[in-house]
Amino acid sequence: MRLLVVEDDDEIAEPMVRGLQRAGYDVDRVATGAEALAAAGADMVVLDLGLPDIDGFEVCRRLREKSAVPIVVVTARDEEADRVIGLELGADDYIVKPFGLRELIARIRAVWRRVSPGSDAVSSQSLGQLVIDRRTRKVFVGDDEVALTPKEFDLLALLAEDPGAVVRRQDILEDVWDAHWYGPTKTLDVHVASLRKKLGDPGWIETVRGVGLRLGQPA
């Protein structure tokens, strides 16, 4: 799926784009309403309302006039009236900042399921004996279901988005915990240790010293 991210703040846009790309999306990013209206070919638009040239509500209205492309609004405007206006102008969902990347991805998938039934990304992923079902949030090793906490599941699902690729520790903390995570990084180590134990083989999650983690394939 190709996403168009419309966000003028680099500090917000850059990690958002990286995270969406890691989740398997093709992402184009523009910083103004004019660029958003001129862009073509996106399967979904992630639209900030606070743009430097055209108000985001106006961009939403014009996009909806010329296209049925799904629109997910992301904004700091949290008043009920703003939500109502956005939805009435044609937005398919409305997310208030700050939000986690995992929530954004879940909202994107939910909107896509609504507008394109049967076209959502495959929810069940098999990696040898390991099976991850994102729709039901269940994990199996062989025939045995593995009971994971929500964060353990999110961590495993993130690594499984690109098996074998190394994901930086900071990116994991931002994606699984919060985009502005300032807590102890030891939290990640605790969850990794627990996840390895539950999966039954430490080889499922490999540590690349000084860089991050990757999903492996035990011998």
pLDDT digits (tens, 9 = 90+) for 101-114: 878 988 888 888 77
| Whether pLDDT at 122 is above 80 | no
Q: What angle do CA 64, 70, 73 make, to 5 degrees?
A: 85
Structure confidence at residue 203 (pLDDT): 94
Q: Half-sphere exposure of 11 toward its Cβ, with a 13 Å CA cutoff?
A: 3
> CATH 1.10.10.10 in the chain, residues?
124-215
Domain range 124-215, its CATH number among 3.40.80.10, 3.40.50.300, 1.10.10.10, 1.20.1070.10: 1.10.10.10
Q: What is the pTM of this model?
A: 0.60
Size of the chain, expressed as the number of residues it contains: 219
| pLDDT at residue number 98 | 83
Q: Range(s) for CATH 3.40.50.2300 in the chain?
A: 2-115
Judge whether residue 100 has pLDDT over 70. Answer: yes
| Measured CA angle at 120 (ends 117, 124), to 5 deg | 125
Q: Domain 2-115 is in which class?
A: alpha beta
Print the SS3 string covering 27-71.
Answer: EEEECCHHHHHHCCCCCEEEEECCCCCCCHHHHHHHHHHHCCCCE
The set of residues, in sequence order, having a beta carbon less than 8 Å from that of 38 and lying 6+ positions away, is none
- Tens digits of per-residue pLDDT, 157-181? 889 888 888 988 888 887 787 655 5
| Dist CA 48 CA 81 (whole Å) | 16
For the residues 54-67, what does the mean pLDDT come to? 93
Binned at pLDDT 50, 70 and 90, residue 134 comes out as confident
The tokens for 104 are 């954004």
